[in-house]
Amino acid sequence: MHIKHTLKLFTIFILALVLVACSNESSSEETGDGNTEVEEKQTGGTLDIAYANEPDTLDIMQNASSPTRDIAWHIFETLVALDKDFAVKPMIAEEYSISDDQKVYTITIREDVNFHDGTTVSAEDVVASIERWRLVSSVGKVASEYIEDVKEVDELTVEITLNEVYNGFLDDMAAPKTGLAIIPKAIAEEAGEKPLVPEQLIGTGPYQFEKWERGNEIVLSKFDEYSQRVETDWGGLTGKKEATLDQLNFLIVKDPQVKLNGLKTDLYDYAQAIPTDLYEVIETTPNTNPVTYINGYSMIIPDKSEAPFDDLKVRQALNQAVDKEAIAQSTYGNEEFYAMDGALFDPTQTELYSGEGIDAYLVHNPDKAKELLEESDYNGEPITIMYANNTETYKRIAQMIQQQLEEVGFTVKLDPYEWATYLERWQDPSNWDIVVIGYSTRFSPNELGFLVQDTGSSGWYNSERWSELMDQWGLAASSEERQEILAEMNQTVYDELPFLKVANETTLDIMSDEIQDYDAWIGPRFWNTYKNK
């Protein structure tokens, strides 16, 4: 996959000042050839971000959607987090250690890490946050199966004891989605399994929650008492974070042309999720720069809880009918923005990527699809493809799938909804037979929500084979073992077909050239970023 960040670097002006002065009232040090000063970063100002989809919640511990993540990770932080190379590093934690038997994790919290409500993080906040994470997070629920005890050792030390060796535990705590966000004990206990409401959005991040006008905007402001780390080279979700801007306004703007026009007229500074067929227009638009980053992949998920896709033969027919290369070409157009790769993780994620077990990814044989349908229990009943109509990618994929499925004998109807309604209807299998969706980049098999057993997100997938592989993953101690398991995970997906992967995606955003020192990594992040005034 081609990954490019076409970011305009800011210019450093060198001002040479040669000062030679003598006076009875004042004097200055002679500088010989002069004193060279480097212009400092400009601080302050407001950044207006045109964002495509309004999140259902900003509870990053409870919700795995990208709209939740992209906004909430400015507010919340985790004990440990991923750096720019996807390695686990401390964040709120000062350090951690693992016992010789690999079952006891001792975590020391940094001193004087401030919450947005004026309190500081203590061990009791961490313990309460872990207990809530075990209840509400898909990743936390997996980790919870291995947790025997969580206890406060002293005010800044927490000890977590596992019931068996689980080598994925640090990865789980560092998960960027449904992650172990540290919140005040009182809020964790009050919220319990319910999503955090606006007044409970208290974290430790460089920006704090201000207000949310549903359907219009979400406003974050600079947290003046932010407890900053010092590591400038870590990147990702850890290391030094500086809230250089005073305010972030996430404005809900769904129309791509409105976003582009708004950037041209200085109405917006940044716009997210631009159709890739506008790339050439953006490249020739003055004062506007494209921003690209890997962003998971698009897929179709059949409902496996009832007919017709509870029948493996029908799912096999689906896989043979769908021409993924044609769909990708039609949907993304420019090959800079998609890659045909059947693995569960991106090739750039070297510790998570295996190219084995994906031979059935690009099979396409309409005649074979017809044959499988005839052998199956499918009787021609209409199948409903549901998608979010405010995302052009999902719309295009759904339309292509409809055409390809009808050609082999499926009866198909499309059912588009606004994002919030789409998410709500997804939870009832009677509403759909196939959903079209994209999942952003994941960093562990535990984060693959579309494979979580017996949930709407996976289309009610149930597999002993997958469960056994997940157990093996937790116990794997070496990269070699993990590579073998990853290959078998890939193979399981193509044998059981819980979902059909379309293509790896590279997301296209756009920004004003007034934005400086910006690094999207895997999604919009606006700490360590400033704006020329």
What's the rounded Cα separation, in Å, for the pair 20 and 214? 60
Residue 30 pLDDT class (50, 70, 90 cuts) = very low
432-to-387, 444, 503 alpha-carbon distances in Å: 10, 28, 22
What pLDDT shows up at residue 298? Answer: 95
Task: Tell me the one-letter amino acid at 393.
Answer: T
For 175, the 3-state DSSP assignment is coil
Q: Are strands 247-252 and 46-51 parallel, antiparallel or unpaired?
A: parallel
Cis peptide before 302 (omega within 30 of 0): no
- Alpha-helical (H) ranges within 137-276 are 138-144, 169-173, 185-191, 256-264
pLDDT digits 0-9 by tens, 487-518: 999 999 999 999 999 999 999 999 999 999 99
User: Which of these, 372, 334, 251, lies nearest to 503 by C-alpha position?
Assistant: 334
What pLDDT shows up at residue 177? Answer: 87
Residue 451 CB neighbour total at 10 angstroms: 25
pLDDT digits 0-9 by tens, 171-229: 999 999 888 999 999 999 999 999 999 999 999 999 999 999 999 999 999 999 999 99
Q: In what order do the strands lie in the sheet with 93-98?
A: 93-98, 104-109, 157-162, 147-154
* Sole residue written with tokens 């009808």: 406
CATH of domain 294-507: 3.10.105.10
Cβ contacts of residue 432 below 8 Å, gap of 6+? 303, 384, 385, 386, 415, 425, 426
285-to-3, 266, 280, 281, 293 alpha-carbon distances in Å: 21, 13, 9, 6, 20
Query: Structure tokens of 81?
Result: 């987090």
pLDDT digits 0-9 by tens, 82-119: 999 889 999 999 999 999 999 999 999 999 999 999 99
What residues form DSSP beta bridges with 297?
A: 439, 504
What's the rounded Cα separation, in Å, for the pair 145 and 161? 12
User: Which of these, 513, 507, 515, 509, lies nearest to 288 by C-alpha position?
Assistant: 513
| 6 or 246: which leads in pLDDT | 246
What pLDDT shows up at residue 26? Answer: 37
DSSP state of 5: -
Average pLDDT over residues 138-161: 96
Mean pLDDT of the chain: 90
Domain locations in the chain as residue ranges? 46-254+514-531, 294-507
- Decide: 302 and 319 in contact? Cβ < 8 Å: no
Query: Structure tokens of 184?
Result: 């005040």
- The fourth-level CATH superfamily of domain 46-254+514-531 is Periplasmic binding protein-like II (3.40.190.10)
- Decide: 33 and 231 in contact? Cβ < 8 Å: no
Q: At what angle do helices 324-332 and 392-408 cross, to 10 degrees?
A: 150
Cβ contacts of residue 7 below 8 Å, gap of 6+? 289, 291, 518, 519
What's the rounded Cα separation, in Å, for the pair 371 and 321? 11
| E strand intervals along 118-205 | 147-154, 157-162
Instruction: Report the percent of the chain where pLDDT is more than 70.
Output: 92
pLDDT digits 0-9 by tens, 2-13: 333 333 333 333
Query: Structure tokens of 318?
Result: 């689906």
What pLDDT shows up at residue 42? Answer: 77
What's the rounded Cα separation, in Å, for the pair 205 and 463? 39
Residue 40 pLDDT class (50, 70, 90 cuts) = low
CA 236, 122, 529 angle in degrees (round to 5)?
25
Phi and psi at residue 372, to the nearest 5°? -65, -40
Cis peptide before 290 (omega within 30 of 0): no
pTM above 0.85, yes or no: no
Residues comprising the chain, all counted: 533
55-to-184, 389, 448 alpha-carbon distances in Å: 23, 15, 19
Least confident of 25-29, 143-147, 449-453, 497-501: 25-29
186-to-91, 92, 119, 157, 282 alpha-carbon distances in Å: 22, 19, 11, 19, 47
pLDDT at 34 over 50: no
For 214, the 3-state DSSP assignment is coil
What's the rounded Cα separation, in Å, for the pair 524 and 32? 46
- Decide: 473 and 445 in contact? Cβ < 8 Å: yes
Cβ contacts of residue 160 below 8 Å, gap of 6+? 104, 105, 106, 107, 130, 147, 149, 150, 169
What's the rounded Cα separation, in Å, for the pair 110 and 112? 7
Cβ contacts of residue 193 below 8 Å, gap of 6+? 132, 135, 136
461-to-113, 119, 455 alpha-carbon distances in Å: 41, 43, 7
DSSP state of 120: B
DSSP state of 189: H
